[in-house]
Amino acid sequence: MGTFIQLVIDGLSTGSIYAALALAIVLVNQATGLINFAQGGMAVLSAYIAWALNGFGVPILPAILAAIVASFLLGAIIERYLIRRFEQGDPDTAVVVTIGLLTLITGFCAWVWTYNNRLFPSLFPLETIKVAGAVISVRSLGTIIVIVVTMLLLQALFLGTKLGLALRAVAINPASAAFSGINVGRSLMTGWGLAAVLGAVAGVLVAPQLTLTPGMMDSALVYALAACILGGLSSPIGVVVAAWLIGVLENLAAVYIPFIGHDLKIAVPFILIFVVLIVRPQGLFGRKAVVRV
């Protein structure tokens, strides 16, 4: 039983990382209708910025906050000067643009900071607490709490503020939003900026665990994409639940199903996707997209 609880908590913790990245992807998808493959790369860059600032003697928490601000600006700039040109065109081209961006950012990180693993200071003490026979690390709990708080803040922003209302309006119908006086371009920049912030949070949370490398978020990105499809791209809550589900199930499957083991556990979310999508093509919580002919 102790192992089980431990696996579930650890699964929720890694699931939270996927959830943050997945939320960023959903945010971008809702705003601009494309999947940003560079989201993980941008998150890694944010983590590197925090790491570099920390290296210059800035304490870790202010360094992370500075990196988050930088990420917001970076996301907004990328939307304005790179993605804007491809938003109205062929969606495949736009996806490849984000792939190019991923290559560029990863290459940039590798060039500046090399491929060597960098130790990233943890935000949380490396202690464990014993609950019901399970050894739970404070880091796992901290990660979960940070993500939940971030999610609640985001939800409050979207539902409770004028800015959030504008962002939602632009996502639903850019043309009507523009007619009612909303600056669509600036809203899209804000959306990308917020997504980059979410990515940055995921990056600094995962960096102490995996150590910082340019390809750190590659597999997290795959899991996040899986969570997006599983939860349904139109439902932020669904995506988070799906991300947690993936994190927990893959941990459990790796230990309790001998055939899967640790090397094949990456197959778990996809088997799940396959089964779910056959039954519900719009995802667990998604709304069915109705296409007007």
Partner 1 sequence: MPSTAESTSRTPVLARPWVRWAGIGLVIVLLVVGPLLLPEFANQTIARIGVFAVAVLGLNVVMGYTGQVSLGQIFFVGVGAYATAWGVDNDWNVVLVFALACVVPAVIGLLVALAAARLGGLAIAMVTIALPIVGVPLAKRLSDLTGGSQGTSARFTDAPEWTGLYDDQWQLYIVILIAGITFLLTRNLVRGKYGRAFAIVKGNEAVAGSMGISPYRYKVLAFTIASLIGGVSGFLYMVVIQYTSPETLHFGHSIELLASMVIGGAGSILGSLLGGAWYVLLPQITNLIDPNITAMLQGAILLIVLFILPGGLVSLPRLWRRRRGSLSTPVPDQTTPTHDAVIIHTERQDQ
Q: Which residues here bind partner 1, judged by CB under 8 A?
A: 35, 37, 82, 85-86, 89-90, 92-93, 95-97, 99-108, 110-111, 222, 225-226, 228-229, 233, 263-264, 266-267, 270, 273-274, 277-278, 281, 283, 289, 291, 293
User: Taking the complex as a whole, how short is the minimal distance between the CB of residue 204 and partner 1, in angstroms?
Assistant: 23
Beta carbon nearer to partner 1, 102 or 146: 102
User: Taking the complex as a whole, how short is the minimal distance between the CB of residue 104 and partner 1, in angstroms?
Assistant: 3
User: Taking the complex as a whole, how short is the minimal distance between the CB of residue 150 and partner 1, in angstroms?
Assistant: 24
Beta carbon nearer to partner 1, 8 or 27: 27
Instruction: Kindly provide the residue ranges of all beta strands, DSSP E only, lying in 181-244, ordered along the sequence.
Output: none
Neighbours of 201 (CB within 10 A): 28
User: Taking the complex as a whole, how short is the minimal distance between the CB of residue 96 and partner 1, in angstroms?
Assistant: 4
Beta carbon nearer to partner 1, 27 or 134: 27
Instruction: Retrieve residue 213's tokens.
Output: 């490398």
User: Taking the complex as a whole, how short is the minimal distance between the CB of residue 35 and partner 1, in angstroms?
Assistant: 6
Beta carbon nearer to partner 1, 216 or 228: 228
Return the percent helix, strand and coil in the chain, to nearest 5: 70, 5, 25
Residue 134: what are its φ and ψ, rounded to 5°?
-105, 140
User: Taking the complex as a whole, how short is the minimal distance between the CB of residue 112 and partner 1, in angstroms?
Assistant: 10
Instruction: Retrieve residue 64's tokens.
Output: 């992370």
Beta carbon nearer to partner 1, 166 or 245: 245
In the block, residue with structure tokens 């940070």 = 146
Count of residues in the chain: 293
**Contact (Cβ atoms closer than 8 angstroms) between residue 272 and residue 48:** no
User: Taking the complex as a whole, how short is the minimal distance between the CB of residue 86 and partner 1, in angstroms?
Assistant: 7
DSSP string of 45-60, one letter each residue: HHHHHHHHHHHTT--H
The three-state DSSP-derived secondary structure of 92-128 is: HHHHHHHHHHHHHHHHHHHHHHCCCCECCCCCCCCCE
Beta carbon nearer to partner 1, 123 or 266: 266
User: Taking the complex as a whole, how short is the minimal distance between the CB of residue 151 and partner 1, in angstroms?
Assistant: 22
Sign of torsion, CA 30 31 32 36?
negative
The phi-psi region of residue 170 (left if phi > 0; otherwise alpha if psi is between -120 and 50; otherwise beta) is alpha
Beta carbon nearer to partner 1, 95 or 184: 95
Beta carbon nearer to partner 1, 141 or 277: 277
Burial class from Cβ neighbours inside 10 Å (0-12, 13-18, 19+) for residue 5 reads middle
